[in-house]
A and B are shown apart, each in its own frame.
Chain A
Amino acid sequence: MIVAERKPFDEIKELIQGYKKVLVVGCGTCVAVCLTGGEKEVGVLSAELKLVNKTASDPASFGEATVQRQCDFEFLDELKDIVGEYDALLSMACGAGIQFLAERYPEIPVLPAVDTVFIGVNKDVGWYEERCKACGSCALGMTGGICPVTMCAKSLFNGPCGGTNQESCEINKDQPCAWRMIYERLAKQGRLDNIIKICPPNDWRNQKPQTLIQPGYEERKTAVE
């Protein structure tokens, strides 16, 4: 899932300063799972904003709405009858959802209430860890299912580097060295041959905006355009 964390409250206040009617818009998918931007968090944020506005000389008012996915026009359409009442939308979706909300309602300012931080996994309730950088050229087949781009702080393809600190990464004792893990897993599986070969430079496909059209959907795209 995509993991986000709420921006500091003061930064949110600063972003919405000057807007008198703000709709806080949640997303019911990834950011709801990571307890950042779902219906519950929309309620909490708007309650906090209402509270500080109580004492303001010229208070703003806040509405709440949560759609199932902000990265899908079909769900964003649900807001079409209410957005006209607001002079700003404060989105709690990931960066993709925020942009799609802004694209769907281009006449209204859309502001982010969260910082999107990574593509990750649910280690436990409230505990998420990054696992993928969406580089566009997956190396997991070579590296025993451990991503060298994400899990190595230097994204090395022929690691480990010389900074390995006992079993940890040089950046942090609590961060295991990715290449030690890769080595150990491949050794256990009898697949060290995978990393004895030199891995050539990566094709960084994530350096420009990406589009994917599944086979069979090309005509549909043309029709929509």
Chain B
Amino acid sequence: MKSGSNLEKILTAGHFAFTGELGPPRGSNIEAIRKKAAPLKGMVDAVNITDNQTAVVRMSSWAASLFAISEGLEPNYQMVCRDRNRLAMQGDILGAYAHGIRNMLCLSGDHQQFGDHPQSKGVFDIDSTQLINMVKTMRDEGTFLNGQEIDEPPKMFIGAAANPFAEPFEWRVYRLAKKVQAGADFVQTQCVFNMEKMREWVKRANDMGLTDKVYILAGVTPMKSLGMARYMKAKVPGMDVPDYIIDRLKGVDKKNQADEGIKIACEQIDEFKEMKGVAGVHLMAIEWEQKVPEIAERAGVLPRPQV
């Protein structure tokens, strides 16, 4: 075991992993975290705690991760390269590990221009691939980025993100290969809507032998409404929402759109369970945490294995 996290145990035991997501509050409101955490308990193997997602200030991801632990959830601590340099990152990783955090997801981060402080200075001292490698070096070599020894190295299960849909498509699988080489243990993909492209990307990853080295968790986001689908198609960078998803939601009564969205998500999860090279699903029920138990139930991923 590299970290001994629950997520690592689930994946190494060969179970189909199921992870969730929790966005920290825009304030110090612990109740808000508890409210979001409650429906996830027992439903997911780990929960991603986002780091100032969409470049909007929120409670820090390590602090919210600690609350997740106290609520009985295993956090997948997200860290972006936008807001801190290599000193702050390594310091936070030490503290996070000392407090019991065992999974980390290493990301570039959305550009600060999108967020609530567009005038801020983006740090981007190192990039996501370099961050992955830094966390691996800390764990496996027991040294900081500068080569100096760490007094009790943090042992993280290292996650990376991948977007199989963004251009240039041909290069995406090579970028995955770089992250694997850098030290990623698992990968969570961007929300998948375009299944054809996803199948092709996974096939290429299989052909390159990458899926023998890294666990791929496919990103699934249930659409709450036709409006959400249209918004994601038009406004969210790197999102690939094919017309047939829009048409399917358009084809049902407005009050049934949310149900249709969940149905689509469950069909995707069913396909991922059978897809060679996919080791699990990362469910991003955006501001819809209360629906996670229903989705998990309908997707047939319950009960979660105890490992």
Binding site for B on A (CB under 8 A): 153-167, 170-171, 177, 180, 183-184, 192, 196, 198-202, 204
The residues of B that contact A200 with a CB separation of less than 8 Å are 130, 133
Contact between chains at A157 and B127 (CB < 8 Å): yes
Give the residue of B124, B126, B130, B168 whose beta carbon is less than 8 angstroms from that of A180: B168
The residues of A that contact B82 with a CB separation of less than 8 Å are 154
Main secondary structure of the interface of A (DSSP, over half): loop
Give the residue of B129, B162, B167 whose beta carbon is less than 8 angstroms from that of A177: B167
Q: Which of B150-184 contact A (CB under 8 A)?
A: 161-163, 166-168, 171, 174-175, 177-178, 181-182
Given A154-B122, A156-B124: A162 touches B161 (CB 8 Å cut-off): yes
Contact between chains at B167 and A154 (CB < 8 Å): no
Q: Which residue of chain B is the closest to A177 with respect to CB atoms?
A: B167
Contact between chains at B238 and A154 (CB < 8 Å): no
Binding site for A on B (CB under 8 A): 81-82, 86, 108-111, 113-114, 122, 124-130, 133-134, 145, 161-163, 166-168, 171, 174-175, 177-178, 181-182, 190, 237-238
Contact between chains at B168 and A162 (CB < 8 Å): no
Q: How far apart sit A161 and B110, CA to CA, in the bound complex (Å)?
A: 9
Give the residue of A153, A154, A164, A184 whose beta carbon is less than 8 angstroms from that of B166: A164
The residues of B that contact A166 with a CB separation of less than 8 Å are 167
Contact between chains at A161 and B167 (CB < 8 Å): no
Contact between chains at A160 and B175 (CB < 8 Å): yes
The residues of A that contact B181 with a CB separation of less than 8 Å are 198
The residues of B that contact A171 with a CB separation of less than 8 Å are 111, 113-114
Contact between chains at B124 and A154 (CB < 8 Å): yes
Contact between chains at B124 and A196 (CB < 8 Å): no
The residues of B that contact A192 with a CB separation of less than 8 Å are 174
Q: Which residue of chain A is the closest to B239 with respect to CB atoms?
A: A165
The residues of B that contact A183 with a CB separation of less than 8 Å are 168, 171
Least CB distance from B216 to A in Å reads: 14
The residues of B that contact A160 with a CB separation of less than 8 Å are 166-168, 171, 175
Least CB distance from B210 to A in Å reads: 13
The residues of A that contact B177 with a CB separation of less than 8 Å are 196
Given A158-B129, A158-B178: A167 touches B167 (CB 8 Å cut-off): yes
- Sort A-B residue pairs by CB-CB distance and give the 9 closest, nearest first: A162-B163, A170-B237, A158-B129, A164-B166, A163-B237, A156-B127, A201-B126, A161-B108, A155-B124
